[in-house]
């Protein structure tokens, strides 16, 4: 029993510490944002995806980074790959705060910094040494270190952007991160009790990330008192992408947990290209926008994303690789069908106007 209780207790303390530091940093971050004009003013900065009407402080990534970094420095050993993750996250924090201030940073510049930050993590020793073959066995990448590093690089950048595109309504992004980090933490804990001692610190980092997401969610829940900004989504995205690799290269598990925002990302990316637009320039065509237009509240949308993440996470923890592949394909097709329905037949889903009889 002590074998079980001790590591679990050691996980809760860093997670609650990250929650406390993140939450305690929110009001100083708001003051910081107000002093240096890191604000989202819909009148001064119109955007096609805008859903709020009041001026809201951005720069939420600062509180998130403080919560995660302080917990890591206190509760985790300063290993090379952990320092690399911190440095990469710090780079995304800086470029995110600059973007919150200038409000004119090109998405291509942000993309370049994302690759640089992910590159720092890869150079610190975080790579994908193998992937599970859905037909059985493992596909080893150890002999092709360059390919393993490139795959890890693009995986992390993809997760960063997927998380960044999932902050369209209050609470949505930290809610998604909270569920995903908890599932990845549970996976690492499962591997730890199965005999892999290296997974204890990975589980601890996962729950630290979940704690920071919880602390931020309290203040980002609708009506939001602060926005994450690109800094917040960048930091969270990098940690989730890295955790999926560190927890035994379980990209399929992370992909299944994040399948709703992932499907929306892929659909939006392809849609913009087919429309002759740049895939990195924002619009009001994401799934959460479609649900808003059909009368759902931000709270309802956030809960939908979180509940679906929990369900898919439970499947991911209990299915083998072939089952995950089948479930991913089935759910992705279903979500794509919902998006297509809302795009082309969504008027049938609108709430009736009480004044039109």
pLDDT of residue 324: 81
pLDDT of residue 110: 92
Residue ranges of E strands in the chain:
39-40, 56-57, 130-132, 138-140
Evaluate if residue 313 carries a pLDDT over 80. Answer: yes
pLDDT band at 356 (very low <50, low <70, confident <90, very high): very low
pTM: 0.90
- For residue range 224-253, what is the model confidence (pLDDT) as tens digits? 999 999 999 999 999 999 999 887 657 778
The highest-confidence range among 195-204, 316-325, 343-352, by mean pLDDT, is 195-204
DSSP assignment of 37-91 equals: T-EE-TTTS--TT----S-EE--HHHHHHHHHHHHHHHHS---HHHHHHHHHHHH
- For residue range 72-125, what is the model confidence (pLDDT) as tens digits? 999 999 889 999 999 999 999 999 999 888 666 888 899 999 999 999 999 998
pLDDT of residue 355: 40
Averaged pLDDT for residues 39-52: 63
Count of helices and strands (H, E) across the chain? 13, 4
pLDDT of residue 319: 81
């Amino acid at each position: 029993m002590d074998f079980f209780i001790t590591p679990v207790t050691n996980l809760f303390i860093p997670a609650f510490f990250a929650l406390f530091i993140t939450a305690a940093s929110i009001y100083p971050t708001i003051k910081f944002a107000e002093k240096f004009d890191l604000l989202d003013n819909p009148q001064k900065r119109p955007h096609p995806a805008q859903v709020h009407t009041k001026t809201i402080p951005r720069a939420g990534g600062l509180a998130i980074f403080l919560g995660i970094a302080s917990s890591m420095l206190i509760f985790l050993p300063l290993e090379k790959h952990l320092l690399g993750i911190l440095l990469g996250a710090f780079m995304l924090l800086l470029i995110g705060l600059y973007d919150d201030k200038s409000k004119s940073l090109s998405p291509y510049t942000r993309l370049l910094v994302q690759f640089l930050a992910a590159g720092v993590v890869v150079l610190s020793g975080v790579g994908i040494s193998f992937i599970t073959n859905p037909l059985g066995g493992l596909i080893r990448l150890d002999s092709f270190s360059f390919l393993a590093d490139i795959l890890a690089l693009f995986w992390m950048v993809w997760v960063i952007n997927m998380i960044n595109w999932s902050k369209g309504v209050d609470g949505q992004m930290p809610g998604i991160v909270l569920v995903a980090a908890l599932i990845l933490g549970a996976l690492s804990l499962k591997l730890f009790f199965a005999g892999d001692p290296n997974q204890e610190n990975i589980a601890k980092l996962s729950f630290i990330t979940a704690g920071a997401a919880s602390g931020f969610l309290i203040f980002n829940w609708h009506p939001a008192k602060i926005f994450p900004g690109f800094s917040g989504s960048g930091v969270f995205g990098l940690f989730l992408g890295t955790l999926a690799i560190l927890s035994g290269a379980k990209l399929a598990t992370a992909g299944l947990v994040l399948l709703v925002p992932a499907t929306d990302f892929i659909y939006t990316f392809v849609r913009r290209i087919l429309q002759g637009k740049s895939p990195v320039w924002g619009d009001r065509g994401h799934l959460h926008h479609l649900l808003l237009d059909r009368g759902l509240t931000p709270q309802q949308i956030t809960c939908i994303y979180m509940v679906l993440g929990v369900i898919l996470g439970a499947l991911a923890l209990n299915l083998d690789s072939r089952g995950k592949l089948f479930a991913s394909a089935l759910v992705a097709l279903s979500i794509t069908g919902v998006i297509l329905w809302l795009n082309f037949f969504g008027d049938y889903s609108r709430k009736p106007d009480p004044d039109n009889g």
